[in-house]
């Protein structure tokens, strides 16, 4: 989901909260007007109503500006509501509250709780609801025998929890819908490109490979390279490369590995997407590329390699196996001591940055197996 789409959807949530705030103010105004004659301090009651009206206008403006919205504003909003709730006792009077008169903000003081829930989710909404609920119940119940009802406090807690949960679910659903839409568009574009490429580039590469093999010599090497590029291009068309992820969301590791497709590389992977954070997938793919480079460098142009991708609940494991000459005992330590850090940095270093592990199994004449494991917690 793009930043613009996320902002637009969140703006809709804040506009809905603005509507609630206006309706709550209307109800509070009706209650204050109806009960003003019974207040212990009637003038202060009108003053509280004026503050509520002014603050509602200010918050409606703030809700419409993403640059103004933020936790400093939400904190001040909650404090304003707390103060107005606490002022209800000296203004309305303890006896009136004990007799059933409502606090001055009535339902208006629920708006900051809902704002916290929309901004921070269920847990944050419950915290704000608890703070406001304690103030609500305490204002009515303190020093009043049998006075006060916990109903308002419970409703504030439930409101903060429910709205926070629903808000996060709604944002998540919108993000999934946007990703599905982008995936559908990318699939259509790949199909179009596949038709064009098949009719031109792939046919040319296949012709170069066939003719190079027939001619022999340097042309055969050129044909071999053309064959590798044809296989890589076919894999790229089949899987596609995802657009850069600007939200830090997960990407399919299979798409990152598609570029390694070649006649001498066999790739075995799950049918379902193998999702990792974008940075982790890119880093893991780079380490795999370094392992394949070692296969070509030390095993020669005819060495074969096999990639096995295993998608586990707690980790992703990729095994790179080759049929090359293998590694002499102590050779990796000697290479590191000589300052050649291909394995130490390009492979092990990258996996260490991800909190992962690298295991290398090799015997002279029996090839090499490199197991790269990345935990899903990263």
- Residue pLDDT, tens place only, 78-110: 999 999 998 988 888 877 776 667 788 888 999
- State the sign of the Cα–Cα–Cα–Cα dihedral 180, 182, 188, 191: negative
Place of tokens 């040319």: 204
CATH no. of 245-378: 3.30.565.10
Annotated domain spans of the chain: 3-175, 245-378
For residue range 267-298, list pLDDT tens digits in order.
888 888 888 988 888 889 888 988 888 888 77
Q: Is 306 left (phi over 0), alpha (psi -120 to 50) or beta?
A: beta
**Per-residue pLDDT at 262 exceeds 60:** yes
Q: Residue 256: exposed, middle, or buried by beta-carbon count in 10 A (0-12, 13-18, 19+)?
A: buried
Query: Which has more pLDDT, 344 or 207?
Result: 207
> Based on the number of CB atoms within 10 Å of its own CB, is 145 exposed (0-12), middle (13-18) or buried (19 or more)?
exposed
Are 373 and 350 within 8 A, CB to CB?
no
Average pLDDT (320-331) is 81
Question: What's the rounded Cα separation, in Å, for the pair 110 and 230?
Answer: 63
Helix (H, G, I), strand (E, B) or coil at 4: helix
Between the two ends of the chain, the Cα-to-Cα distance in Å is: 21
Report the alpha-carbon distance of residue 273 to residue 359 in Å, rounded.
Answer: 24
* Greatest mean pLDDT range, 73-77, 157-161, 177-181: 73-77
Q: Exposure of 289 by Cβ count < 10 A (0-12 exposed, 13-18 middle, 19+ buried)?
A: middle
Task: Share the mean pLDDT of the chain.
Answer: 80
| pLDDT surpasses 90 at 345 | no
Question: pLDDT tens digit string along 20-64?
Answer: 999 999 999 998 888 888 888 889 989 999 999 999 999 999 888
**What's the number of CA atoms in the CB half-sphere (13 Å) around residue 108?**
31
The residue ranking higher by pLDDT, 42 or 218, is 42
């Amino acid at each position: 989901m793009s930043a613009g789409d996320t902002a637009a959807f969140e703006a809709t949530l804040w506009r809905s909260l603005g509507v609630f705030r206006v309706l709550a103010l209307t109800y509070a105004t009706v209650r204050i007007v109806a009960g003003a004659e019974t207040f212990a301090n009637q003038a202060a009651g009108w003053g509280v109503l004026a503050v509520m009206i002014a603050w509602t206008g200010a918050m409606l403006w703030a809700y419409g500006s993403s640059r103004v919205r933020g936790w400093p504003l939400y904190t001040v909003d909650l404090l304003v509501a707390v103060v107005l709730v606490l002022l209800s006792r000296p203004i309305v009077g303890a006896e009136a509250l004990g007799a059933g008169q409502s606090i001055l903000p009535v339902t208006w003081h629920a708006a900051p709780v809902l704002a916290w829930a929309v901004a921070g989710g269920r847990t944050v909404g419950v915290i704000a609801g608890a703070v406001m609920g304690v103030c609500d119940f305490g204002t009515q119940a303190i020093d009043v025998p049998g006075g006060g009802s916990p109903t308002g406090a419970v409703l504030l807690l439930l409101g903060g929890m429910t709205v926070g949960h629903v808000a996060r679910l709604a944002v998540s659903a919108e993000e999934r819908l946007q990703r599905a839409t982008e995936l559908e568009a990318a699939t259509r574009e790949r199909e179009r490109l596949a038709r064009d490429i098949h009719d031109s580039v792939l046919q040319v590469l296949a012709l170069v490979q066939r003719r190079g093999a027939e001619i022999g010599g340097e042309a055969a090497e050129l044909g071999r390279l053309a064959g590798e590029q044809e296989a890589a291009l076919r894999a790229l068309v089949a899987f596609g490369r995802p657009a850069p992820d600007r939200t830090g969301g997960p990407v399919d590791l299979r798409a990152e590995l598609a570029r390694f497709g070649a006649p001498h590389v066999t790739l075995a992977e799950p049918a379902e997407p193998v999702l990792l954070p974008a940075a982790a997938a890119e880093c893991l793919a780079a380490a795999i590329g370094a392992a394949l480079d070692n296969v070509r460098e030390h095993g020669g142009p005819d060495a074969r390699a096999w990639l096995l991708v295993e998608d586990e609940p707690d980790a992703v494991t990729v095994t790179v196996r080759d049929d090359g000459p293998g590694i002499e005992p102590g050779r990796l330590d000697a290479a590191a001591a000589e300052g050649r850090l291909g394995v130490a940095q390009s492979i092990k270093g990258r996996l260490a940055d991800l909190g992962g592990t690298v295991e290398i199994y090799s015997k002279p004449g029996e090839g090499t197996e490199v197991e790269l494991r990345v935990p899903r917690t990263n």
